[in-house]
Amino acid sequence: MVLRDGTHATHQVLNQPPPLGGHDLFATDAALAEAVRREGADWAVGELSALGRLCGSEEVREWGRQANDNPPVLHTHDRYGNRIDRVDFHPAWHRLMEMSVSEGVHCSPWADPRPGAHVARGAKMMLVSQADGGHGCPISMTYSAVPALAAAPDLAAEWGPRFMSRHYDPAFAPAPGKAGALCGMAMTEKQGGSDVRTNTTTATPIGGDEYEITGHKWFCSAPMCDAFLVLAQAPAGLSCYLLPRWRPDGTLNAMHLQRLKDKLGNHSNASSEVEFYGAWARLVGEEGRGVRTIIEMVNHTRLDCVLGSAAGMRTGVAEAIHHTSHRSAFGKLLAGQPLMRNVLADLALESEAATVTAMRLARAYDRGDDPAEGAFRRLATAVSKYWVCKRGPVHAAEALECLGGNGFVEESGMPRLFRDSPLNSIWEGSGNVICLDVLRALVKAPHTLDAFLDEVRLASGADARLDRFTRSVTDELAQPDGLEARARRVVERMALALQASLVVRHSPPAVSDAFCASRLDGDWGRAFGTLPADTDVESIVDRARPAAG
């Protein structure tokens, strides 16, 4: 049958939600907006709201889709056979990069180090990551490279202004002639992975702080960048270097991209294997102290892993609540059905806990000159990185399932969210590496545990379940036998204690009560949607609801 408007009756679109676009990602995320004000960045609310509206627009959402549907392409040679090792991107990628660079997501705490700068920047990272997580890689690498360069004042003076420019310049050209520059990283080798001390790439001194780098890197993050931090074996041991794409004489450096990685997710971003053939580089820090030099970069990228996973959870919650609030089944809206409401509330709890943790962690980076905050940051970064990033994939899977078959279809965006979700747990140290890092901190810097527990105990007396849980965590940490085998369990419990302390102090009673009942007191199943029957799910879901405009 043909209807008056010329369509066929069988083609009517019924019972489908409207697009979730045209809304303010910042203003509709109560947990994030409150945390920004609480953690010292209330001065940034105006620009965060403007960025939230931009990232929530249909236009920017479309940039993210296009950048992932049209992944980067490697050109190793030009038409004449000359090596060029250039990576080309879809225009949507460049729009995303231009947006984030102009907002200073790659540099603002260094260019304008005011109180709350890392908190404001962290919130921006969460917003732009909801548009597309892939372009966050060069953004994060550049942000993290600046503190590492502090070990080489001459290099910091030369490259710092380039990395702190808010002009995105994608030109494949020497950095001195560009309006701005970005930094990547090449550390991992195929025989060692996280064990970078087994690297075989060599650095041969050629005078002063100049070296020639020769070897192969299994992963080079963001190979389109202007310079890279690289680890290589020097005469005195493993050392860190800044290796630019172009030599000082204006010729291409001997950095040959072998192939782009065919990855599970993160499709908009290029990751590569690279071969160095006597590539020119300059030493960062002391020769033989490469790991110590690079650790500041690692810590800041781990912070971004937490922020990225928290952003993914927020995306999943928003999409799930939006879909189920407009989709009916069995005679009523999905979001109005008790079991679905339990699932949505459980997802929202996980998302809020991740957000408040990420923002509290960002504040610790704002107060790096405070010894107590520095000690807290040392341990909390690893603990939070392990747990929040571990929760990402299972959270994405459950959020996807809320959309049913619609969520399994690429057009929904949920498959991309799911494919991207394991990355942050692997990047800068997978689960076991992070847990061993926590144990190392407990042994080498026991004061970090004191600082961590001091933060948790700020909620003492507010919830008996949290008090009991905190005591059980400290008791478990006091038992050294078999601690390495129990490391995942211990770090998980440390993370839950921190998250519970934060939500008890800062979230509404409905959120904190449900979190403590489920995560601490054991009134929870082994899947999302198993919160206690008396949970105030309506308040929790309403707090997390996105507002489509």
pLDDT at 194: 76
Q: Cα–Cα–Cα angle for 464, 469, 472, nearest 5°?
A: 130
pLDDT in tens, 344-390: 999 999 999 999 999 999 999 998 789 999 999 999 999 999 999 99
Q: Helix or strand or coil: residue 479?
A: coil
Count of residues for the chain?
Answer: 549
CB of 323 closer than 8 Å to CB of 405:
no
**Residue 195, pLDDT score:** 79
Q: What does each of the 549 residues of the chain score in pLDDT, given as a tens digit?
A: 555 666 566 778 888 888 887 889 999 999 999 999 999 999 999 999 999 999 999 999 999 999 999 999 999 999 999 999 999 999 999 999 999 999 999 999 999 999 999 999 999 999 999 999 999 999 999 999 999 999 999 999 999 999 999 999 999 999 999 999 999 999 888 887 777 788 889 999 999 999 999 999 999 999 999 999 999 999 999 999 999 999 999 999 999 999 999 999 999 999 999 999 999 999 999 999 999 898 888 999 999 999 999 999 999 999 999 999 999 988 899 999 999 999 999 999 999 999 999 999 999 999 878 999 999 999 999 999 999 999 999 999 999 999 999 999 999 999 999 999 999 999 888 999 999 999 999 999 999 999 999 999 999 999 999 999 999 999 999 988 899 999 999 999 999 999 999 999 999 999 999 999 999 999 999 999 999 999 999 999 999 999 753
pLDDT of residue 549: 39
Q: What is the DSSP letter of 74?
A: E
Q: Give the separation between CA 76 and CA 536, rounded to whole angstroms.
A: 58
- Retrieve residue 353's tokens: 């806990």
The 3-state DSSP class for residue 527 equals coil
What does the pLDDT look like over 160-196, one tens digit per residue? Answer: 999 999 999 999 999 999 999 999 999 888 887 777 7
∠152-156-158 over CA atoms, to 5°?
120
Whose structure tokens read 């065919």? 262
In the chain, how long is the greatest CA-to-CA distance? 82
Report pLDDT digits (tens) over 492-538: 999 999 999 999 999 999 999 999 999 999 999 999 999 999 999 99
Question: CB–CB of 64/132 below 8 Å?
Answer: yes
Taking Cα atoms as reference points, which of 439, 112, 137, 95 lies closest to residue 263? 137
HSE, CB side, 13 Å, CA atoms: give it for residue 84: 14
Q: Which region, left, alpha or beta, applies to residue 241 given φ > 0 means left and ψ of -120 to 50 means alpha?
A: beta
Question: Cα torsion for 274, 280, 282, 284, to the nearest 10°?
Answer: 10
Q: pTM higher than 0.85, yes or no?
A: yes
CA distance 201 to 232: 5
Phi, psi of 542 (to 5 degrees): -60, -35
Which pLDDT belongs to residue 544? 97
pLDDT of residue 11: 73
Q: In whole angstroms, what is the distance from residue 304 CA to residue 485 CA?
A: 27
Q: Rg of the chain's alpha carbons, rounded to an integer?
A: 24
In angstroms, what CA-CA distances link 423 with 199, 248, 250? 23, 35, 35
CA-based nearest residue to 373, from 386, 355, 361, 385: 361
